[in-house]
């Protein structure tokens, strides 16, 4: 009798072991035998790019975020318009308007292909580059999960509906994150990426004078910071530091900025200034502790990086990140 029970447990355990790996398909060791230097190759190109472009790392992590929120982390955001391939680029969706960094991705891809041809996906390149960006800006990295493959489709309408807008209230931001399996702690942690990089003025000038038709500035915007922003924005296209305290450092000052009403975008400030919101306590804990932020950011980046990846034999390893691969020539009939 007892042995039947034991056997049942053994069978159950065996089933779990067999099923386990299909549930968690990405792995930090995915390229260990096939392309062991991939992370350092990517990091070298990001380091090089940073020498002439202080925003290089910021551009790359934003690309990874916009990739993962639309059809999962599958490199779909990198595809450019191609009538021949039936690609209507996600880069044409409002949430991606003016997104930058395609040139850096192309340079990384070239360096990776030179060392390990036809092995590393563009989706994984964005994940590795995001970690490199954070480390090179003085932040703590995380154990990057790998093994994603690239899509053969883009989803422009998905980008239009899934990407968050800087004009949305907290409730809407929370719903968009929940739609991809991220909770309000992830929302706060990941918004911490606004500790570096820039925003164009068009995304926040509405807060400076006549907020929401009230005839008054946004009451959750510090008046001194507001004066600085008015000076900093002669036109809508000018770019301003997302973190006025340490603009290019990856640190937790973003959260103390929010406590001081110095969040640049409304979507930043609402995390702290929405009355009764659960995000307030999270902002406070990240502002109080660099380690709490590093732990939280790494955990949430891994969660975001796990959004419906293509794995196994699904999708492909693109030769060029901006184009799907040509199909093999069909043999003569």
Ligand X SMILES: *[C@@H]1O[C@H](CO)[C@@H](O)[C@H](O)[C@H]1NC(C)=O
Where on the chain is the footprint of ligand X (CB under 6 A)? 71, 155, 157-158, 161-162, 165, 167-169, 172, 202, 205-206, 212, 236
Q: Which does 289 bind (CB under 5 to 8 A by kind): ligand HEM, ligand X, none?
A: none
227 labelled binding-site residue: no
Residue keyed to tokens 């000038």: 205
CB nearer ligand HEM, residue 67 or residue 222 = 67
Gap between the terminal Cα atoms of the chain: 64
Residues 6+ positions from 248 with CB-CB distance below 8 Å: 54, 137, 196
d(CA 18, CA 91): 39
For ligand HEM, the binding residues (CB under 6 A) are 55, 58-59, 61-62, 65, 98, 100, 164-166, 173, 190-191, 193-194, 196-200, 203, 242, 265, 267
Active-site residue set? 66
DSSP state of 203: G
214 labelled binding-site residue: no
Residues 6+ positions from 119 with CB-CB distance below 8 Å: 31, 34, 35, 317
Q: Which residue number is nearest to ligand X in terms of Cβ?
A: 158
DSSP state of 202: G
CB nearer ligand X, residue 164 or residue 296 = 164
CB nearer ligand X, residue 71 or residue 131 = 71
d(CA 262, CA 252): 13
64 labelled binding-site residue: no
Q: Which does 195 bind (CB under 5 to 8 A by kind): ligand HEM, ligand X, none?
A: none
90 labelled binding-site residue: yes
Nearest to 102 by CA among 322, 305, 323: 322
Q: Which does 283 bind (CB under 5 to 8 A by kind): ligand HEM, ligand X, none?
A: none
Q: Is 229 helix (H, G, I), strand (E, B) or coil?
A: helix
Min dist. Cβ of residue 35 to ligand HEM (A)? 25
C-alpha angle 180/186/191, rounded to 5°?
105
d(CA 174, CA 218): 21
Which residues lie across from 239 on neighbouring strands? Answer: 200
33 labelled binding-site residue: no
Min dist. Cβ of residue 180 to ligand X (A)? 8
Binding-site residues for heme b: 194
Binding-site residues: 67, 70, 72, 74, 76, 90, 164, 194-195, 243, 246, 251
Binding-site residues for Ca(2+): 67, 70, 72, 74, 76, 90, 195, 243, 246, 251
């Amino acid at each position: 009798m007892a042995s039947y029970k034991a056997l049942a447990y053994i069978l159950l355990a065996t089933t779990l072991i067999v099923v386990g790996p299909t549930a968690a398909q990405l792995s930090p060791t995915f390229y260990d035998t096939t392309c062991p230097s991939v992370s350092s190759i990517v990091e070298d190109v990001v380091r090089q790019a940073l020498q002439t472009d202080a925003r290089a790392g910021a551009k790359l992590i934003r690309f990874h975020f916009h990739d993962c929120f639309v059809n999962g982390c599958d490199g779909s955001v990198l595809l450019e318009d191609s009538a021949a391939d039936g690609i209507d680029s996600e880069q044409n969706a409002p949430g991606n308007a003016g997104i930058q960094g395609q040139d850096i991705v192309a340079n990384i891809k070239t360096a990776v292909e030179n060392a390990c041809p036809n092995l590393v996906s563009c989706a994984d390149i964005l994940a590795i580059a995001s970690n490199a960006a954070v480390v090179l800006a003085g932040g703590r990295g995380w154990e990057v999960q790998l093994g994603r493959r690239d899509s053969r489709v883009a989803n422009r309408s998905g980008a239009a509906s899934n990407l968050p807008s800087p004009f949305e209230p907290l409730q809407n931001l929370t719903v968009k994150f929940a739609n991809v399996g991220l909770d309000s702690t992830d929302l706060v942690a990941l918004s911490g990426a606004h500790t570096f990089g820039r925003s164009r003025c068009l995304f926040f000038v509405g807060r400076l004078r006549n907020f929401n038709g009230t005839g008054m500035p946004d009451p959750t915007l510090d008046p001194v910071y507001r004066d600085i922003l008015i000076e900093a924005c002669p036109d809508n296209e000018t770019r301003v530091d997302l973190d006025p305290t340490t603009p290019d450092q990856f640190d937790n000052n973003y959260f103390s900025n929010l406590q001081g009403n110095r969040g640049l975008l409304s979507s930043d400030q609402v995390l702290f200034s929405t009355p009764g919101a659960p995000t307030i306590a999270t902002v406070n804990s990240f502002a109080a502790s660099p380690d709490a932020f590093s732990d939280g950011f790494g955990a949430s980046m891994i969660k975001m990086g796990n959004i419906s990846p293509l794995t196994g034999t699904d999708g492909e390893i693109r030769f060029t990140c901006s184009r799907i691969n040509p199909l093999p020539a069909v043999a003569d009939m």
